[in-house]
Amino acid sequence: MSIPPSRILETFPNPAPERDFHVHIRIPEFTCLCPRTGQPDFATLLIDYIPDRLCVELKSLKGYIWSYRDEGAFHEAVTNRILEDLVAAVAPRFMRLTARFNVRGGIFTHVVAEHRQTGWQPAPHVILSDFANDYGITD
């Protein structure tokens, strides 16, 4: 069963709205088109968010991301547009979108855009071990 491209982002209720928890989503196959040349641009998108009342449904996110495949967009513009659409859909306490575009013409572009809910403050970060090194995580 294929998933059609769509700009509709579906959500579901946060299963633990009483606590801040971190959702990390890695999308290694984002594509859009260069608005000047029409050539494809490839990126890995990293979405990090702390939900409030809603979470993004991943199958709809896949169709949403796919909808950019044939659209011309500058890296900065498409990164901010995706963040705005995600924030409009889930109204998170915090969200960061990092777009790591592959090399084009000898230049890598990384665009980072953030949203913070008014008045939200993150809890202090607690490190219990070097989890990333222990498990070989590179993101």
Residues in a beta bridge with 48: 24, 96
Q: State how far the Cα of 71 lies from the Cα of 105, in Å rounded to an integer.
A: 20
Would you say residue 58 has pLDDT above 80? yes
Query: Nearest to residue 94, comparing CAs of 48, 27, 46, 45?
Result: 48
Query: Domains of the chain: which residue ranges?
Result: 11-118
Across the range 125-137, mean pLDDT stands at 67
Residues 6+ apart with CB under 8 A from 121: none
Across the range 116-126, mean pLDDT stands at 87
41 included as an active-site residue:
yes
Model confidence at 127, pLDDT cuts 50, 70, 90, reads: confident
Q: What is the pLDDT of residue 3?
A: 76
Element (H, E) at 111: strand 107-116
Of 20, 32, 41, 70, catalytic: 41
Of 34, 48, 52, 85, catalytic: 34
Would you say residue 126 has pLDDT above 80? no
55 included as an active-site residue:
no
Across the range 18-29, mean pLDDT stands at 96
Q: What is the pLDDT of residue 124?
A: 84
Across the range 119-128, mean pLDDT stands at 82
Could you tell me the CA-to-CA distances from 54 to 10, 20, 57, 112, 115 in Å, in that order? 10, 12, 9, 22, 15
The CATH number of the structural domain formed by 11-118 is 3.30.1130.10
Tell me the per-residue pLDDT of 66-76, one tens digit each, with 9 for 90 and over: 999 999 999 99
